[in-house]
């Protein structure tokens, strides 16, 4: 499998993106096709295909991704009104890019699911 997809290129800054947060473990940037006024993606800097590939060795990345997602929600002032965190897994789960990522959605009333 070619791990050099669009997310890898964003991490490596080989394609432009509105990166709003980056550290040694994760990168966060605005979605180019937003589904809400605030739509940010949070990805690990180390390739993980999807949730099915979380194991004891990389388990800490999920907690870091969630922690930073909460900080991003606060920074974007959607923490009080509400926001949604989504992780899609595989085709039937709606995952379009085979690279683990969190969607942070907010800034308007979201439809119930």
What number is the average pLDDT over the span 80-105?
97
The single residue of 64, 92, 101, 103 carrying the catalytic annotation is 101
Q: Is the pTM of this model over 0.75?
A: yes
What number is the average pLDDT over the span 66-93?
98
pLDDT band at 86, cuts 50/70/90? very high
Q: What is the pLDDT of residues 2-37, one digit of tens each?
A: 567 899 999 999 999 999 999 999 999 999 999 999
Distance (Å, whole) CA 74 – CA 1? 36
Q: Tokens 């709003």, residue?
A: 20
What number is the average pLDDT over the span 106-111?
95
101 is catalytic: yes
**6-106 CATH fold:** HIT family, subunit A (3.30.428)
pLDDT at 1 over 50: no
Q: Spell out the domain ranges in the chain.
A: 6-106
User: Hey, what's the torsion of the CAs at 4, 54, 41, 87, to 10 degrees?
Assistant: 120
């Amino acid at each position: 499998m070619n791990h050099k997809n669009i997310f890898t290129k964003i991490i490596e800054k080989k394609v432009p993106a509105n990166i709003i947060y980056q550290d040694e473990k994760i990168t966060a940037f605005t979605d180019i096709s937003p589904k809400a006024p605030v739509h940010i993606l949070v990805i690990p800097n180390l390739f993980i295909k999807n949730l099915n590939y979380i194991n004891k060795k990389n388990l800490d990345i999920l907690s870091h991704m969630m922690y930073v997602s909460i900080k991003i929600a606060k920074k974007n002032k959607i923490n009080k009104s509400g926001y949604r965190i989504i992780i899609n897994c595989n085709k039937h789960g709606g995952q379009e890019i085979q690279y683990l990522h969190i969607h942070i959605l907010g800034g308007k009333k979201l439809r119930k699911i």
